[in-house]
Amino acid sequence: MAVTTASKVPFISKMAYGFGDVGCNFSWSFVVAFLMIFYTDVFGIGMAAVATLMLVARVWDAVNDPLIGTLSDMTHSRWGRYRPWLLIGAPFTAVVLVLTFWAHPQWSSTAKIIYMSVTYCILVLGYTCVNLPYGTLCGAMTQDIDERAQLNTSRSVAAMIAIGIINIITVPLVKFFGDGTLSSARGFISVAAIYGMIFLLCHWFCFAKTREVVAVPKTQRLPLTVQLKAVAQNRPYQLAVIGQLLFGFILYGRNADLIYYFKYVEGNEDLFSFFSLVIIIPSVIGAGLFPIVFRWTHNKGWAASVFSLLMGVSMILLYFFSPRTTPVLFYAFAALAQFFFSGFNTAIYAIIPDCVEYGEWKTGIRNDGFQYAFISLGNKIGMALGTSLLALAMDGAGYVANMEQSAMVKAVVHHAFSTVPGVLWIITAVILLFYRLNKETYNKIVREIAERKQNKI
């Protein structure tokens, strides 16, 4: 690998990088949207146990995320630092995904909880071993800020398409392979097997067609305390972590709520597939809008702030409409919210590799994987809080699986679908206005880093 400050990335590599996130979503988005209802309505596990698992599992993440980040930074092979993890980690994670969706409703409550906890924690580890190096790979493919924006746009567009497809086809597939209901154990494990194979093939394609060109000296071995001090001096990175924490909290809490909303509030889970079909095109267009807003703001954080604000307003307005009584307005605001979310999703991930350059310029330390580990951890902590609070709120309101729900349960699910995430997206928009690493400053930083390396030669 040769050190390069700015390199153009071939189109096939950009496409392959995008396919990596297709694979990620055929695992993680499937898990986020359907695992909770699988646990409660298929496996027969209580909401309180599910909520506890989501929180306790983050302690495990606090160990394995930095560990995998550090190990990926220390990896040296003819394929680079991060790509080997895609090759080796993908098949392992695909198998565990299937095991996670293997229901045993006849087991005792204790046996169910043990199986749920073990398989979920192993799945989280496997996903970290693939997703964390995959996310870090962007910064190793080029240091050109515009090329990175294009890579993240490719990633986001691919992710939005994948999420849309997953949300459209999962409910029909579970019913088709099962007994015609969303409570089919056979249906869920069949779908998990298909998605696991897609996860594997997408990551192997990403591995085969991407290249790492930004190298770190092999002699660099940094103690944990040194790396943490470097992170403490990296203000843009700290805001990126906060942004990911809020992102995970809002997005995954709402995504876990979606199927409950259509099944119990609207009374028809099949509407979830139609809802997902309506928003898939706005998803793709919104992701492609990010480079335009970035050119206007010259600041990725501010671009994310614009998208977050408009998304929040759209979601709050969505509360006042229903797919049954006011379908045109409901789907119009749903599409609008997804359009702005897609742009935000692209922007918030595009921020991360730029913070690595800032940290290297500020402290002389480059630790891509270690930094991305805390980005991943922040996202997962947000996800745990979002899904756990949703589960606890539903449990406290009196949720009973596969039954007509009380007015209080329906109110909790309805607000979790619209007003609560809407307000939180507006708060996120305000916080991201404090992100100050603009395009001019970034380019100056990259030039200075290159000059330092040249002077050492």
- 89-117: per-residue pLDDT in tens? 999 999 999 999 999 999 999 999 999 99
The whole-number pLDDT of residue 3 equals 42
- At 70, the pLDDT band (50, 70, 90 cuts) reads confident
Provide mean pLDDT across the span 398-426: 96
Three-class SS of 228-241 = HHHHHCCHHHHHHH
List, in sequence order, the alpha helices (H) in 178-218. 185-209
The whole-number pLDDT of residue 7 equals 67
Provide mean pLDDT across the span 434-450: 89
Indicate if the pLDDT at residue 59 is higher than 80: no
Question: Hunting for tokens 């088709």 — which residue is that?
Answer: 176
What CATH number has the domain spanning 11-212+223-456? 1.20.1250.20
For 355-414, give the DSSP string.
HHHHHHHHHS---HHHHHHHHHHHHHHHHHHHHHHHHHHHHHHT--TTSPPPHHHHHHHH
- Asked if 177 and 185 count as a contact pair (C-beta separation under 8 A), the reply is no
Indicate if the pLDDT at residue 136 is higher than 90: no
Q: Across all residues in the chain, what is the average pLDDT?
A: 90
pTM: 0.81
Question: Hunting for tokens 């002389």 — which residue is that?
Answer: 364
Indicate if the pLDDT at residue 58 is higher than 90: no
Indicate if the pLDDT at residue 6 is higher than 90: no
- 241-287: per-residue pLDDT in tens? 999 999 999 998 999 999 999 999 999 999 999 999 999 999 888 87
Position 442: which residue type? Y
The whole-number pLDDT of residue 206 equals 96
- Asked if 9 and 141 count as a contact pair (C-beta separation under 8 A), the reply is yes
Provide mean pLDDT across the span 369-394: 86
The whole-number pLDDT of residue 44 equals 94
Provide mean pLDDT across the span 406-415: 97
For 251-316, give the DSSP string.
HHHHHHHHHHIIIIISS-TTHHHHHHHHHHHHHHHHHHHHHHHHHHHS-HHHHHHHHHHHHHHHHH
Compare 226 and 4 and report the one with higher pLDDT. Answer: 226
Percent of the chain residues past pLDDT 70, beyond the cut:
96
- Asked if 336 and 453 count as a contact pair (C-beta separation under 8 A), the reply is no
- Asked if 24 and 134 count as a contact pair (C-beta separation under 8 A), the reply is yes
- 196-222: per-residue pLDDT in tens? 999 999 999 999 999 988 765 554 566
Cα 114 from chain centroid (whole Å): 26
Q: Please name the helix (run of DSSP H) or strand (run of DSSP E) that holds residue 59, with its range, or none.
A: helix 47-74
Q: Which two tokens stand for residue 257?
A: 């709520």
- Asked if 134 and 79 count as a contact pair (C-beta separation under 8 A), the reply is no
- 347-356: per-residue pLDDT in tens? 988 888 888 8
Reading phi first (left if > 0) and then psi (alpha if -120 to 50, else beta), residue 398 is in left
